[in-house]
């Protein structure tokens, strides 16, 4: 199996510390995207409408953080999934990030929706994903706290070999030991690390995001 990601949809991001002109169809539709001190960028990503047509939708991205979702045997085909409340931002998260985001108020959810995210199911074996097991790079579209758990709606961009992500655990600030890592248990956490930069340097994704 190739370690290269499978593109689900595309977006264009300037490299870190640079600005880029993003040209869109039509007259006068050029976006100037700037990378500021907090790595906030505006990008256009295709979003499939109910008609089946993919239209460019502008999104603000904060590359200083990312969400990691590891959800049982989830296939991420239904547009949303549930996170048990006891597994949401309760472990493998820095105390200051837990204090800031775990309350899941409007401000926290708004910020979380700007973070890139990895969506993964549990490893098929401890510390080892299945041969054809994929995780996904994408975004959180909405978070709803319900009686039966936390509903997370999402948008996928790339499928990525989960074996490769296991290999990059240290670089991605994913807790790991010789026989166990974060991909082995259901949970949601937030990491203060530039996921996009790390994946680019590891040749997992390219500059098309």
Contact in structure between 140 and 67 (CB atoms under 8 Å):
yes
* Residues facing residue 47 across a β-bridge: 55
- The pTM of the full predicted model, rounded to 2 decimals, is 0.78
C-alpha 204/C-alpha 137 separation (Å) is 11
Residue with tokens 């199996």: 1
Q: What mean pLDDT do residues 12-35 have?
A: 43
Question: What's the confidence (pLDDT) of residue 35?
Answer: 39
Q: Calculate mean pLDDT across residues 57-76.
A: 94
Pairing of strands 149-161, 134-146: antiparallel
* Residue written as token pair 């290999």: 167
pLDDT exceeds cutoff 50 at 23: no
Largest CA distance in the chain: 56
């Amino acid at each position: 199996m190739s370690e290269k990601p499978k593109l689900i949809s595309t977006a264009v991001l300037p490299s870190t510390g640079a600005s880029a002109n993003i040209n869109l169809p039509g007259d006068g539709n050029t976006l100037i995207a700037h990378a500021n001190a907090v790595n906030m960028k505006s990008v256009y990503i295709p979003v499939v409408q109910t008609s089946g047509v993919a239209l460019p939708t502008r999104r603000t991205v904060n590359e200083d953080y990312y969400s990691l979702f590891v959800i049982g045997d989830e296939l991420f085909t239904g547009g949303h999934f549930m996170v048990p409340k006891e597994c949401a931002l309760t472990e493998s998260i820095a105390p200051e990030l837990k204090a800031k985001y775990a309350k899941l108020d409007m401000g926290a959810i708004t910020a979380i929706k700007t973070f890139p995210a990895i969506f993964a199911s549990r490893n098929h074996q401890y510390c080892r994903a299945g041969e054809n097991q994929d995780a996904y790079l994408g975004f959180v579209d909405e978070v709803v706290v319900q009686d039966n758990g936390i509903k997370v709606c999402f948008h996928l961009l790339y499928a990525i070999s989960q074996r490769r992500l296991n290999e990059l655990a240290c670089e991605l600030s994913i807790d790991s030991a010789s026989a166990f890592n974060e991909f082995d248990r259901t949970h949601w956490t937030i990491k203060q690390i530039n996921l996009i930069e790390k994946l680019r340097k590891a040749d997992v994704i390219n500059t098309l995001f």
